[in-house]
Structures are given as C-alpha cells and as structure tokens.
Amino acid sequence: MQEFTDSTDLLGHIAGLTSLRDVDLLELSLLKSVYTIVNPIEVSLVTIDNQNSIHKKVDYASGRHGTVCKKVTAEEDFLGACEQLDNSTLEYCTVSAATDLLSVFMLSHNRLVSHYVTIRSVVGASKNQSQQILGMLQIYRNFKQLLQESKTDELTGLSNRKTFDSTLRKIHESIMPAYEECSDDKRLIDQVEHYWLAMIDIDKFKIINDTLGHLIGDEVLVRVSQSLQASIRSEDMLFRYGGDEFALIVRSPDMKTTQMVLERIRLSVEAIKIPSAGDLSISLGCVKSSVDVFHLTLIEHADKALYNSKNTGRNRTSFYEDIKIIEPINSAAQSSMVDLF
C-alpha cells in the first residue's frame, strides 16, 4: 500500500474539508480524503443504531463515488470490529474478512446511533497512515460540529429556518427528475415518494408570553419542540421556523398516513403539563409537495391551511387540498348573492 506523506496534498484535503458548507458533501470529501491516503478497495461511512441496524452507509471506491445505501444488514466482521472498539479504549481496529482486511475507525456515537469509517483493503493501513486518518477524522468532527451549530436553533435544538429553506429547496429539486422520468405513466407517478409540508403554530402563545413572561414562554417552546421531536418518525424532519411556529416535512405515500403522523403530534402537545401555562395545544396546516408548485409557494399554501385551523377553533389540522375544494364553493355562493341583490 502506497504511503501518503506529501504534506501539501494532506493540507489540500484539509482545505477541501473546511471549505464545504453541506454535511453530505463534507461526508463525501472525508471519504475521498481517506481513500487518497490509503488507496484501498473501498472506504465507507456507516451509521448504525443500538440494535445493530445500519441506517445509512455511504461508500466511496474507484468508479463508485458516493453510493448511499439505507437500512442495510450489518456484516459480521463489521459488528465484531465495533464490539472490539466498544469494549476498549482503541480508536480503531483491523479484523480479517473473507478476502480482505477491514479497518474500523470510531467517528462518533451517542445513546441512539454510532458513526464509523470503515476501510476494506488487501493490506492494512500503516501506523503513519492510521495517524493521518485519525487527524482527518478529528478535523471532520470539529468542522461538522460548527456546521451543525450554524444550522441549529439555539433555544430548542431543532434545525433552524435557514436549514428548513435549504432542505425544502433540495426536496423540490430532487422530485422533479423523478416525476419527469415517469411523466407518461400515472402508475409510476403514484409510486414516486411524496413529501408533505406542515406548518405548526402554538395556540395563544402571545398571551402566554405577554402575561407570564419570556421565561415561561421559552419553557413552553422547549417542551413543545421536545414533544414534537419525540412524536415524529425517523424519516420526518422538524424545524423551528420562527417565533412559536414550527415546520415539519413528512415523507408519506398518502394523506391518511400524513394525518396519522400529525394527529399523533397534536395529541402529544395536548398531554404536556406546565401548571403555570395552563392547557397547551397546536394548530396545523398541511400541503402535499408538487413538482409544479414552487417551494416558496408551498409554504404559502401550508400557511393558508394553518390560518384555516386557527380560524375554525384551533387545536386541529387543515389540509390545503381540502381548502381548495371549499374556496370555489364559497366564491360561487358570494357571486350568486351579488347577482341576486
């Protein structure tokens, strides 16, 4: 295995890492840098939960750059290496696989998931190469933390408005090719993954803030955000949009499934007990994403549905698709009244 000792090249990879502002690109840059250091068969970034189920695996190899797999089965050699790392103070270990060697480096972990960088090679990394990789991983950790802090709301810990705008734009851009590929076949269109945008507002929050003070108001925001986060599924994305408003992106095949997700979080907020703040509730407005609706217009539609929930009694969910049906009827009725009188 060729040694990677050119400090200029190493500094170039470090500069490449720290110039990125997107976590996905940062991951790919890390794998590319490690691949350059050791020139192995394959380098991967693996996210595994405490039940040994792999949530995400990003592979980087010659001719196969940035392949992403989700919810795949963990291999025995990988699990064995992870167990060795968990039961020791080692930062990495190398185990024998069927036809090669597998080196596993601990990247980060918490009580829910752990992240590893794995290297499959014919010859294991040298001590010098391993030290270079460990240094690269520490730089990655530090910079990823800075990126995450810039994308996180300080009070609630949720992703912030800037991250929401970026995510919604990426989703809109990603569904366009999928729809274009199957535009001539409605059966295939129906199978395309759907996203639903829900705007969520805490009912009568201004009264709480004005009468009880900002400390109680902040407690309500934190408790509600925790309740929302605990009630959504792993594939859904929650953001603090601003003030007492939250945004939720739900990945769902149909309105019925989306309604179930939203009803669960509505009930979870109802169950919050803060004696000084009284009963809490939220109003929700939801709309289905569409390739022919600009992502900023999508927010307007969800807000319109939210206002409908507010104006019809609060503590409920309205769908923009239902409002669109009602509005023409109301408009027609008003036109008839004008004609009559």
Q: What is the mean pLDDT of each run of 10 residues along the chain (341 residues)?
A: 46 46 75 88 90 86 73 86 88 86 90 88 86 88 82 92 90 63 44 82 95 94 96 92 96 93 96 93 95 88 96 96 65 42 32
**For the chain, first and last CA: distance in Å?**
89
Predicted pLDDT of residue 22: 64
Q: Where are the domains positioned within the chain?
A: 7-150, 161-327
Radius of gyration of the chain measured on its C-alpha atoms: 25
Q: Phi/psi class of residue 261: alpha, beta or left (left: φ > 0; alpha: ψ in -120 to 50)?
A: alpha
Predicted pLDDT of residue 314: 95
Residue 65 Cα distances to 17, 28, 74, 107, 178, angstroms? 16, 8, 21, 20, 21
Topology of 161-327 in CATH?
Alpha-Beta Plaits (3.30.70)
Three-state SS for 83? helix
Predicted pLDDT of residue 180: 46
* Tokens found for residue 112: 């829910």
Predicted pLDDT of residue 73: 81
What are the backbone angles phi and psi of residue 62, rounded to the nearest 5°?
-60, 120
Residue in this structure with the two tokens 């309604």, named with its chain if needed: 259
For residues 247 and 285, what is the distance between their CA atoms, to the nearest angstrom?
Answer: 10
Residue 269 Cα distances to 56, 101, 200, 220, 233, angstroms? 30, 50, 11, 10, 16
For residues 105 and 130, what is the distance between their CA atoms, to the nearest angstrom?
Answer: 9
**Top CATH class, 7-150:** alpha beta
